Structure 1
Amino acid sequence: MSVSPQTKGADVPVNQASARVAVVGSLNMDLVARAPRLPQPGETLAGRTFAQVPGGKGGNQAVAAARLGAQVAMIGCVGGDANGAQLRAGLEAERIDCAALEISTSAPTGVALIIVDDGSQNSIVIVAGSNGEVTPATIARHEAVLAAAEVVVCQLETPPDSVHAALAAARRLGKTVVLNPAPAVGPLPAAWLALVDYLIPNELEAATLTGLPVRTPDEAAAAAAALRRAGARNVIITLGAQGVLAALGDAAPAHFAAPRVAAVDTTAAGDTFIGGFAAQLAQRAALDVAIRFAQRAAALSVTRAGAQPSIPSRAEVDAS
């Protein structure tokens, strides 16, 4: 059954044997250029370095959950090309179950064009490719994967009807449902919030979902309250260096300060937080413990370059 907010600080035993997470979402090959700053419209900048690394929010969150202690299955679609083969091999190297990772016969693997500046901020353009072929029928074919999971994680880089199908199936099956509403383009459909246990946007996504400014923890609390009035059960807004604002159940919003680190690249920080939080949920950790663990994992990830290469292991987080 769905996980409800647990008592803050409760000592809940961890059972990794049952810590199963299913991720439904995107897989992209990230094409990453580093430059002194982000270019202005019409401007050409000289870049410093270029790398091609596995990414996509779904893939990143699956890798994060796997490295951070969960047994993970991936539902998605790659192209029948070299990028798709590389992405699949990378997931399998993390011991992620790829039985539900389909191969498109008509679309290339998705790509993300990423520029990272000297301030570690990024600008990203995504071309969906085979991610656009994840459909409600895809979800139906692999419902057994959802049924075997404790926690189901979704994002918005696959078509909306497939996301809704995954959320609805996970709710019907009694799973704990996590939705990372990224990329957000406007308010979520009203019926979606009732299907989600934990809605986890960043500050920009929270602002897009609510139409409210989200620049500080206090503003994040107001946005979280608006999302709860709209039907969200639990809202966790990630605020980068300002930490996390959590509005859980009927409790007052709580602010969790971020660990202090020297940031190198923020590309997969949010995905690392989601994966770490999902892994902790599947292990039945207390919610404050899960949030702080996910924060430490995300903080370690921003000290390294790249998306999936930056995601730390459970041992690294435990030692931090």
Structure 2
Amino acid sequence: MRQSVLIIGSSNTDMVVKTEHFPKPGETVLGGTFLMNPGGKGANQAVAAARLGADVRFVAKTGNDIFGKQALEGFKDEGIDTRFVSESATLASGVALITVNAQGQNEIVVASGANMDLQPVDIPDNAFENVGMALLQLEIPAETVRWALTKCAEKQIRTVLNPAPAMQLDSGFLNGLYLITPNETETELITGVAVESEETLRKAAQYLFEQGVQNVIITLGSKGIYLASDSFTGIIATPVVEAVDSTAAGDVFNGALLKALADGQSLEQASRFACRAAAISVTRMGAQSSAPYQHELESFFKHD
């Protein structure tokens, strides 16, 4: 039987405004296009993995509102197993307010809502059955993340932690992790090392190894990623594209990475695959809507 990938995390509705430049404090900027898209780091990663062919099981919590109902329908349309998406009795669905400038950079403010009501009691034991790999982020309660990581370790499920949004993490989150995938900001907050060169990247990775992490990927935006593992250590470049919106690039990377690892690819192979998926995503507006399908990944880079 084919094993599922388990993603435990957040579901939001993204409200996006495009503008030439970000407003300064107290400044009003007349923006352009407004978009309302399904988002949330967990949901973005689930959709990215599903579109690339993974058998995705998603655990999340939404509100009893139109945003939650639309999100659930969207997951089902993507072929995602939604049996473990529950509904909060008291909190609204999560919402993210996103501004995107002319260079494709973004600023995001999140109202977490029901995401912060996802508790261990909402995740039954059978959610972990027949799971090959798991992926978590930090847009749900930290105690739920820690509990789920422990549960995965008990069941010998290889687990990836995407430590976003940035927060300090103790060894209880790190010890035994198969893989951690912080960006530069998150890396500095967790390790105390500002990653400005390959030497500092190595130093940050070494700190994480000493905390019990088995493999490290530090994402570097348009510069690619730094992979540190037994079989490969170094920078893997991302394809050069014209970026219009980087909102979900990291999420697409993580979802694609999970899918490739679950398929048995090496960390180096999976990283290159995920970099290509993320590169496509930044050429499109939106979060989940930017995630490529497998056939698009193949056709986009057919000249390589």
TM-score (norm 2): 0.95
Match of 1:174 among 153, 156, 160: 156
**Cα-to-partner distance string for 1:44-89 (whole Å, 9 max, x where unaligned):** 1111111110000000000011011200011010011000011111
Amino acid aligned to 1:281? L
Partner of 2:227, secondary structure, is strand
Q: Which residue of 2 aligns with 1:220?
A: 201
Match of 1:38 among 22, 28, 38: 22
Query: Is the alpha carbon distance of 1:217 and 1:93 closer, same or farther for their aligned partners in structure 2, counting shifts above 3 Å?
Result: farther
Match of 2:85 among 101, 105, 108: 101
Give the conservation status (yes or no) of the 8 Å contact 2:227–2:268. Answer: no
Unaligned runs of 5+ in 1: 1-16
Amino acid aligned to 2:163? P
Q: Which residue of 2 aligns with 1:199?
A: 180
Partner of 2:58, secondary structure, is strand
Give the conservation status (yes or no) of the 8 Å contact 1:113–1:125. Answer: yes
Q: Which residue of 2 aligns with 1:259?
A: 239
Give the conservation status (yes or no) of the 8 Å contact 1:29–1:111. Answer: yes
Give the conservation status (yes or no) of the 8 Å contact 1:203–1:220. Answer: no
Q: Which residue of 2 aligns with 1:301?
A: 281
Hey, what's the Cα distance between the residues in 2 that align with 1:193 and 1:75? Answer: 21
1:190 pairs with 2:174: no
Hey, what's the Cα distance between the residues in 2 that align with 1:213 and 1:271? Answer: 22
Equivalent residue runs for 1:74-153 within 5 Å: 74-139=58-123, 141=124, 143-153=125-135
Hey, what's the Cα distance between the residues in 1 that align with 2:214 and 2:127? Answer: 24
Unaligned runs of 5+ in 2: none
TM-score (norm 1): 0.91
Give the conservation status (yes or no) of the 8 Å contact 2:176–2:212. Answer: no
Q: Which residue of 2 aligns with 1:12?
A: none
Amino acid aligned to 2:175? A
Hey, what's the Cα distance between the residues in 2 that align with 1:258 and 1:92? Answer: 31
Give the conservation status (yes or no) of the 8 Å contact 2:146–2:172. Answer: no
**Per-residue deviation, 1:173:** 0.7
**Per-residue deviation, 1:257:** 1.1
Amino acid aligned to 1:173? K
**Per-residue deviation, 1:224:** 1.5
Q: Which residue of 1 aligns with 2:12?
A: 28
**Per-residue deviation, 1:129:** 0.3
1:210 pairs with 2:184: no
With 33-42 and 86-95 compared, the bigger mean Cα shift is at: 33-42
Amino acid aligned to 2:165? P
**Count of aligned residue pairs for this structure pair:** 300
Q: Which residue of 2 aligns with 1:312?
A: 292
**Aligned-pair identity (%):** 41
Amino acid aligned to 1:162? T
Give the conservation status (yes or no) of the 8 Å contact 1:18–1:283. Answer: no
Give the conservation status (yes or no) of the 8 Å contact 1:216–1:242. Answer: no
Give the conservation status (yes or no) of the 8 Å contact 1:21–1:70. Answer: yes
Give the conservation status (yes or no) of the 8 Å contact 2:98–2:107. Answer: yes
Q: Which residue of 2 aligns with 1:63?
A: 47
1:243 pairs with 2:224: yes
Amino acid aligned to 1:39? P
Q: Which residue of 1 aligns with 2:146?
A: 164
Hey, what's the Cα distance between the residues in 1 that align with 2:215 and 2:136? Answer: 15
RMSD in angstroms over aligned alpha carbons?
A: 1.3
Give the conservation status (yes or no) of the 8 Å contact 1:19–1:283. Answer: no
